[in-house]
Amino acid sequence: LHKLINLLQATDDPLIQEQALITLSNSAAFSVNQDIIRNLDGLSVIGRMLSNCVPKVKEKALNVLNNLSMNIKNQEEIQVYITQVCRTVESAPLNSDLQLAGLRLLTNMSVTSDYHEKMINSIPCFFHLLSEGTERTQIQVLKVLVNLSANPAMTRHLLRAQV
């Protein structure tokens, strides 16, 4: 894991970055590895990949963060990327794998109400995706909206959203 994280930092080759992120994503499915990746400062290295201009690299980084977000301590670090993930979801091509990867991460990050306020500005986008997206996109958006709706503090924002 340490070598993969170092490799991500050392290379600008999108193909290598993508393969390293896929391997990290598979590794992050195991809870013991989630702690190791965090302790190796892997979350910030992976988070920096969200700024990559190659959509596939960005998508794979979102997949890794999604797997890592199953851990509460990791969520505390991942939450700094929520606004960026929301912007990615909004700007990604409709129904793309990149958009779905962002929505899956937002679903996990919205299971508790701890980070809901970071998603408020994207509520109109979520409703747009609900009306314009394919079934896969709609299901993923609904998961985010259901999580947000479970928080009474979000009611006003959900009902006032310009749709």
Does 113 share its domain with 70? no
Does 20 share its domain with 32? yes
Which of 79, 110, 144 is where one domain is finished? 79
Q: What is the C-alpha separation between 78 and 63, in angstroms, rounded?
A: 12
- What is the model's pLDDT at position 162? 82
Averaged over 124-129, what is the pLDDT?
97
Q: What is the C-alpha separation between 151 and 56, in angstroms, rounded?
A: 33
Does 50 share its domain with 101? no
Which of 79, 95, 127 is where one domain is finished? 79
Does 146 share its domain with 112? yes
Does 93 share its domain with 69? no
Does 17 share its domain with 63? yes
- What is the model's pLDDT at position 163? 77
Does 62 share its domain with 86? no
Does 7 share its domain with 44? yes
Q: What is the C-alpha separation between 13 and 102, in angstroms, rounded?
A: 22
- What is the model's pLDDT at position 28? 96
> Alpha carbon 156 to chain centroid distance?
24
Domain boundaries, position 66: 1-79
- Count: domains in the chain: 2
Neighbour count for residue 163 (Cβ, 10 Å): 10
CATH of the domain at 75: 1.25.10.10
Contact 118, 83 (CB under 8 A): yes
Does 69 share its domain with 105? no
- What is the model's pLDDT at position 75? 97
Averaged over 118-142, what is the pLDDT?
97
Q: What is the C-alpha separation between 118 and 105, in angstroms, rounded?
A: 13
| 33-85: pLDDT as tens digits | 999 999 999 999 999 999 999 999 999 999 999 999 999 999 999 999 999 99
